[in-house]
Amino acid sequence: MSATISMGQRLRPGSATILRGILLAGLAILAMLPVLNRLPPESALYVSDFVVSVSGKWICYAILALAIDLAWGYAGILSLGHGAFFALGGYAIGMHLMRMIGPRGVYGHPVLPDFMVFLGYTELPWTWWGFSSFPFAFAMALVVPGLLAGVVGYLAFRSRITGVYLSIITQAMTYALMLAFFRNDMGFGGNNGFTDFKELLGMPLNTSGARALLFYAALIALGGALLLCAHLTRSKLGRVLVAVRDAESRVRFLGYDTVRVKLTVFVLSAMLAGLAGALYTPLVGIINPGEFSPGNSIEAVVWVAVGGRGTLVGALVGAFSVNAIKTWLTSFAPDLWLFVLGGLFVAVTLFLPRGIVGLLHKGDGK
Amino acid sequence: MLRSLLVLLLLLAAPARAQDAFTDALRGLGGNFQSQAEAVEKLGALGDPRALPLLQALAEGRLVKTADGTVQLREGDAGEPVRINNRVRVALRGALGRLQLLSPVEAERAAAADGLFRSRSPENIPLLEDALGRESSPAVRERMALALAASRLAAPQEGVKRQGILVLAEGGSAVARGLLLEARAAHPALAPEIDAAIAAIDRRLMLKTAAETAFQGLSLGSVLLLAALGLAVTFGVMGVINMAHGEMVMLGAYTTVMVQEALRGIPALAPLSLPLSVPAAFLVTAAVGVALERGLIRHLYGRPLETLLMTFGVGMIIQQAVRLIFGAQNREVLSPAWMQGTLSLPGGIEITQNRLWIILFALAVLGITIAAIRFTRFGLEMRAVVQNRRIAATMGIRTGRVDAMTFAFGSGIAGMAGVAVSQIDNVSPNLGTGYIIDSFMVVVFGGVGSLAGTMIGAFTLGIVNKMLEPWAGAVLAKIAVLVGIMLFIQRRPKGLFALKGRAAEP
């Protein structure tokens, strides 16, 4: 099975250096964008607001891709529900941002967000308790996805649900959450979700300064996530993960608690996805139940597949390149985009099982 | 002018004896209030249908006196309308109800019975008894019986009341229940009888709700069965996850649209478009399935996760292609006449015909599938490949061909599911998306590789879903079912009907 495409770390001589160079150069260019945005518009190096916010979005997607890669590329857990963890993180911060609107809403209610006034709420539901505090909301953005992944993962791994079964279960999970969040009586804004945010930590959003700060926050988070994943995959746990991916029964027979190993990485991966979502909501200025749609999750899986799973750089390469194509194509030929995306699914699985980064690997790539 | 002439002609044409009584009574309408009320009552008692338009005109102030002392319908603004007082109005209400009860139009009789049910006056008992004796339509009879029972309940004599209670208990509708509750408060003496009657009604109503829920569950289950059956074949037999399966269902539905449009111009074949769509959809989706298997999936055997991703991409491409060719809006599929309408079963249970047909269709498709696997050469080869691919190959079975045929078969079943779905759901490019997750749940729940498991899984999920819906809402019911499946596979990870064997996981 997956042993036929074992994802070793053996690269062609010099490839590792090239990859690291590309990675550092890419991150450096990204870090320059908000600075170039401050130049006068006539300047040749000027970068528009649009480019800054779009690349900020891509950074969040890259963190999500890293999370998926950690679970799929290293532990062989193909989750088709990571979009749900991402969205839950986004909703947690979104709830804080809604509380921060205060009396500036359309209805001017001192406490309740507009949609609650509209739906006839008289007080905040208990689920909103504590979300006026930023540290609490931020913690929830990590804890809630982690808890959900813990419960689903424990139930699934314990009864040895693996492979496609796990994929289907996680897809059903995000589907169920999407249906739930589309409901108005859940108290999470129904199908409109949250938007019209005003400020975060006392800083008014929607200014180029705030955008730059959020952008850097996302970039630092990406760097941190990258370092964490690099450390993790090189540790002993990382080696066990790859072993579980390639021959789970054998690892179990050797005495490892594979359930705990898989659960650890799955929860960590979900929290990483939650972090990505938490950074995404203030940057984009909206979060709605559409983020839970199964299509979103599977699209994120394709970023990793295109970039090259089982390598951390691959996840980043995939997230940035596929989203670059998407942004470019949807602006002038939106009808074509789904053909291209579908084609990517087919082409990558058939011809490029190790993704773009796999081209640099030793061997013929088969 | 023409209408009054018509009335006169009718008067002349009527038999002499009846004419006398009728015209006599008619004359009274022009007298004082006292004689008016008497005349109205008399006309109502006579039951002559010709009186109906005149009495209606009287009630609406469209009747005028003529020079010879009788009355006629008013034309334009000519003459002073005949005036009436409250006493006449009361008499009119009763007489009109009686006359309508004998009207030749079925809908009018039913409406009159409902009116008498609401007025609940014991004076109407003989009238209703009489009308019930003549009535031939069962639906109207039922309403009249209810009105009669309600009138009897309002009668002063206890014996008559008891009669009414018994009839109401047998009828067993929610309205009758309300009526009995009302009567119980008013007549404590009859409480034991009324309580028994209410209990009987409650049993009936519960049975009716249970039967209707079961039917809706079976109906949802049969759609799930159709959608999941093809999946059970490809997933269960070949171990291939086909995420484009929902799109196969969608292609089947669009084939139905195409066949219907192609046959619209041919009157002889147009009513047969739906039956003809079944083989057409099977062939179209089977062809797409073969192309998909031979062209793409074949290269990915043994790599289920990659197959999943790739088929998802193929599904996206098919969906977008259909969207560009046919447009994103819903397409209309007409139901043939024999599938429309509802079927009334005893006990007030109503069943929509098209759902009934879909249940039968699903069972037929299941039967054909089982027969094909059990009794045909292809089925034998397929089972051999499932049991041991290599040994099957050494016995001379062309496993590649069997794979292609199996995939074509599974896709074809999905296409036939699309024909059924087109009858109850909107035909749009993203039709398949809604079915794919549910179908996978059915297969996982029922046990991979077991068609009986698929059937039981589909019907169980359908019925459980519909049972939860009344108190949890459609969305929460769906979520509860998903959570339930998660917990269920804790106990039985391989589903309800696991294939027995000693093969270790790869």
Give B389-416 pLDDT, tens digit per residue.
Answer: 888 889 888 888 888 898 899 999 999 9
Higher pLDDT, A317 or A206: A317
Q: Cα–Cα distance between A154 and A160 in angstroms, integer?
A: 10
Cβ–Cβ contact A191 with B under 8 A: no
Q: What is the CATH number of the domain that holds B323?
A: 1.10.3470
pLDDT value at A8 more than 60: no
Q: How many distinct structural domains can be found in chain B? A: 2
- Give the Cα separation of A125 and A144 in Å (integer): 17
Both B259 and B380 in one domain: the answer is yes
Smallest Cα–Cα separation from B169: which of B147, B196, B151?
B196
Instruction: Report strand pairing: A199-200 vs B63-65.
Output: unpaired
Asked if B69 contacts B27 with a C-beta cutoff of 8 angstroms, the reply is yes
Give me B297's structure tokens: 């999936």
Burial class (CB in 10 A: 0-12, 13-18, 19+), B156: exposed
Q: Say if residue B138 is in the same domain as residue B216.
A: no
A 162-181: CB under 8 A from B? 162-165, 167-169, 171-173, 175-176, 179-180
Say how far apart CA A163 and CA A144 lie, in whole Å. Answer: 25
> Helix A134-158 to helix B451-491 angle, to the nearest 10 degrees?
120
CA distance A22 to chain B (A): 28
- B172 and B52 within one domain: yes
Q: B486–A1: do the CB atoms touch at under 8 Å? A: no
- Inter-chain touch A78–B313, beta carbons under 8 Å: no
B304-322: pLDDT as tens digits: 888 888 998 999 999 999 9
Residue B379 sits in the same domain as residue B430: yes
**Residue B256 resides in a domain:** yes
| ipTM attached to this prediction | 0.84
Identify the three-state secondary structure at position B503. Answer: coil
State how far the Cα of B121 lies from the Cα of A200, in Å rounded to an integer. 72
CA distance, residue A350 to nearest chain B CA (Å): 7
The count of CB pairs under 8 A between chains A and B is 119
User: Of B498, B482, B475, which is closest to residue B440 (Cα–Cα)?
Assistant: B482
Clarify whether residues B281 and B377 are in a common domain: yes
Q: Is the pLDDT of residue B1 over 60?
A: no
Does one domain contain both B263 and B393? yes
Contact B314 A78 (CB under 8 A): no
- For A158-179, write each residue's pLDDT tens digit: 877 777 788 888 888 898 888 8
Chain centre to alpha carbon of residue B276: 24
Q: Do B194 and B287 reside in the same domain of the chain?
A: no
Q: Do A162 and B304 touch (CB under 8 A)?
A: no
Q: Do B306 and A349 touch (CB under 8 A)?
A: yes
- Tell which of B167, B202, B237 closes a domain: B202
pLDDT value for B496: 66
Same domain, B182 and B219: no
What sign for the dihedral angle of Cα A291, A294, A296, A301?
positive
Domain termination residue (choose one: B140, B175, B202): B202
Q: Which residues from chain B sit within 8 angstroms of residue A175, using beta carbons? A: 437, 482
pLDDT at B287 over 80: yes
Whole-angstrom Cα distance, residue B33 to residue B469? Answer: 59
Judge whether A26 is closer than 8 Å to chain B, CB to CB. no
Task: State the smallest CA–CA distance between residue B239 and chain A in angstroms.
Answer: 10
For residue B255, the model assigns a pLDDT of 92
Position B140 confidence tier, pLDDT thresholds 50, 70, 90: confident
Q: What is the largest CA-CA distance in chain A?
A: 66
Q: Residue A249: which of B312, B314, B505 has the nearest Cβ?
A: B505
B351 found inside a domain: no
> What distances in angstroms separate CA B315 from CA A263, A346, A348, B322, one per listed residue?
31, 10, 15, 11
Average pLDDT on B494-499 reads: 64
As separate numbers, helices (DSSP H) first and strands (DSSP E) second, chain A gives 14, 4
Whether A325 and chain B come into contact, CB under 8 Å, resolves to no
**Closest to A90 measured CA to CA, from A276, A278, A218, A291:** A278
Please state, in angstroms and rounded to a whole number, the distance separating the CA atoms of residues B364 and B357. Answer: 10
Provide the β-strand partners of residue A69.
none
Nearest-CB residue to B440 (from A168, A180, A335): A168
Residue B346 lies in a domain: no
B158 vs A275: which has the higher pLDDT: A275
Chain segment A102-146, per-residue pLDDT in tens:
777 777 777 777 777 777 777 778 888 888 888 998 999 999 999
Q: CA-to-CA distance for A63 and A60, rounded, in angstroms?
A: 5
Last residue of a domain, one of B202, B230, B265: B202
Residue type, B88: V
The pLDDT of residue B506:
38
Q: Domain residues for B142?
A: 2-202
B328 shares its domain with B465: yes
Please compute the mean of the pLDDT values over residues A203-229 and round it to a whole number.
86
Of B102, B160, B164, B111, residue with least CA distance to B133: B102
Average pLDDT for B165-179: 72
Q: What average pLDDT does range B28-35 have in this prediction?
A: 77
Read off the tokens for A277. Answer: 């979502």
Do the Cβ atoms of A345 and B304 come within 8 Å? Answer: no
- Where are chain A's structural domains? 2-34+44-358
Measured distance CA(B480)–CA(B472) in Å, rounded:
9
B472, with CB counted inside 10 A (0-12, 13-18, 19+), is: middle
Tell if the CB–CB gap between A339 and B320 is shorter than 8 Å. Answer: yes
Which of A164, A298, A305 has its CB closest to that of B304?
A164
pLDDT of residue A59: 92
More confident residue, B430 or B348: B430
Collect all residues of chain A within an 8 Å Cβ-Cβ radius of residue B319: 338
Whether the pLDDT of residue A150 is over 90: the answer is: yes
Residue A345 and residue B310 in contact, taking contact as beta carbons nearer than 8 Å: yes
pLDDT at A7 over 50: no
Which residues have CB under 8 Å from A188's CB, separation 6+?
A: A91, A95, A127, A181, A194
**In whole angstroms, what is the distance from residue B431 CA to residue A259 CA?**
37
pLDDT band of residue B67 (cuts 50, 70, 90) is low
What residue type is assigned to position A190 of the chain?
A: G
pLDDT at B51: 78
Cα torsion A242, A248, A253, A255 to 10°: value is 50
Q: Are A97 and A284 in contact (CB under 8 A)?
A: no
Specify the DSSP class assigned to residue B232. I
Shared-domain flag, residues B164 and B247: no
- Same domain for B179 and B64, yes or no, is yes
Check pLDDT > 70 for residue A33: yes
Chain A residues in contact with B480 (beta carbon < 8 A) = none
| Tokens 């990590």, residue located | A142
Residues B193 and B254 in one domain: no
CB pair distance less than 8 Å for A335 and B320 = yes
